[in-house]
Chain A
Amino acid sequence: MTPLLEARELTFGYRKGEPILRGISVRLDAGERLGVAGGNGAGKTTLLWCLLGLLPAEGSIRLFGERVTRKSWRRIGVVFQNPEDQLFMPSILDDAALPLLNRGLAPAEARPRAMEALEVMGLAHEAERPAAELSLGQRKRAALAAALAPEPELLLLDEPTAELDRPSARRLAELLRSTHTACLITSHDLDFLGRTVHRLALLASGRILACGPVAEVLSNGRLLEDAGVL
């Protein structure tokens, strides 16, 4: 079976001679949820951007068995670390409906589905408001709703729980567990990762320190300390 996502020996630096990622390999199969944990500046966001083809990394990246192009984005849902960067439509309902419309759904179909996604994120009452009028945590939930609405084959989530209160984080974990969407999730929230992902990779100094079943990795305190997440 070809993996949904396969990256080999990714190397990338923003400046010449200062690599941020040093030979990273990751693989994600259909229906699998992979966590990436690491301290501030470990390179988690950089890794996601490379995987999306937004930064020119050396090495090979295959999404759905092909090279990354604009076309591959049609099958992916992305949530940026900073939710403000992602919501720009007149209302968050429009934000959530946009990916559906753009993928070919009629407005009469797209809006109810977008509304449903907002409801799941507990934002039904705010649907007609622009993101600028919402709290940071609400914006993150709106960005999550927009990413989840089209039911993509693959979700890339950058610190999805950083701004969420505990009940919202718990609900998100339940939601992700109840779908069969493959996810790659970066986070420092070990509790959330423990509930959500199957496998966990620890990223430190641009390398993968360890990668394995989540319970196994989380039980190794030394390793977590070395990775700067404990």
Chain B
Amino acid sequence: MRVPRAARLLLPVLVFAAFLVVLQAWGGRIDWWLPVRTIAVAAAVLVAVRLVPWAALLRRVGPGSRFYAAALYLWMLRHFTSILLAETRRVLLAQRLAAPRRWGRGWFASLASALAAVFARVLVRAERFYAAQLLRGIGR
């Protein structure tokens, strides 16, 4: 079974959406719009990240401009999205190499661990990135 690449990148988001549904079911009432919106927003961000010429935009809006803060904010958002995607891709690859037998022993548990690790690592990287920006005098 070949899963398309874009779908695979959305996997953690799907897991997160499923997690939301489970939480709601636990609470007794399921609002189906919540997971649907989560997935829609993630997909839209994915498309935006791919299609918008971000670097050119940021260069056009110089530090003097009113839009600079907004542009910088979007740039960082894009940066984090790319981190999330890259981390997801890498962890899933490592999981495939470590557990090459699909459905074999430990496969499912390792997939769950791998997805959980994505979130932990993205947090660590976000912190590191923030520290680096502080050192450069950009963060507030």
Contact = CB atoms under 8 A, between A and B. Distances in A.
B81 interface: no
B8 interface: no
Nearest to B99: A102
A78 B110 contact: no
Given A88-B113, A132-B120, A78 B107 contact: no
B97 A90 contact: no
A98 B99 contact: yes
Nearest to A84: B121
A94 B117 CA distance: 13
Interface string B90-101: 110111111111
A175 interface: no
B51 to A, nearest CB: 18
Interface residues of B, number: 24
Contacts of A95: 98
A167 interface: no
B94 A80 contact: yes
A87 B124 CA distance: 15
Interface in B39-97: 90-91, 93-97
B106 A101 contact: yes
A90 B113 contact: yes
Q: How large is the interface on A (under 10, 10 to 19, 20 to 34, 35 or more residues)?
A: 20 to 34
Contacts of A78: 97
Contact of A86 (B94, B106, B116, B124): B94
A86 B91 CA distance: 7
Contacts of A102: 98-101, 104-107, 110
Contacts of B121: 84, 132
Contacts of A80: 94
Q: What is the predominant secondary structure among interface residues of chain B facing chain A? A: helix
A215 interface: no
A71 B95 CA distance: 14
B96 A98 contact: no
Contacts of A52: 97
Given A88-B117, A98-B110, A102-B107, A146 B98 contact: yes
B100 A98 contact: no
A152 to B, nearest CB: 11
A168 B58 CA distance: 46
Interface in A73-105: 73-74, 78, 80, 84-90, 94-95, 97-99, 101-105
A166 interface: no
Contacts of A101: 99, 104-106
A115 to B, nearest CB: 16
A205 to B, nearest CB: 27
A54 interface: yes
A88 B91 contact: yes
A142 B117 CA distance: 16
Contacts of A89: 110, 113, 117
Most buried by B among A86, A94, A132: A86
B114 interface: yes
Nearest to A72: B100
12 contacts: A54-B93, A70-B102, A73-B96, A74-B100, A78-B97, A84-B121, A87-B94, A95-B98, A98-B98, A98-B110, A102-B105, A132-B121
Interface of B: 90-91, 93-102, 104-107, 110, 113-114, 116-117, 120-121, 124
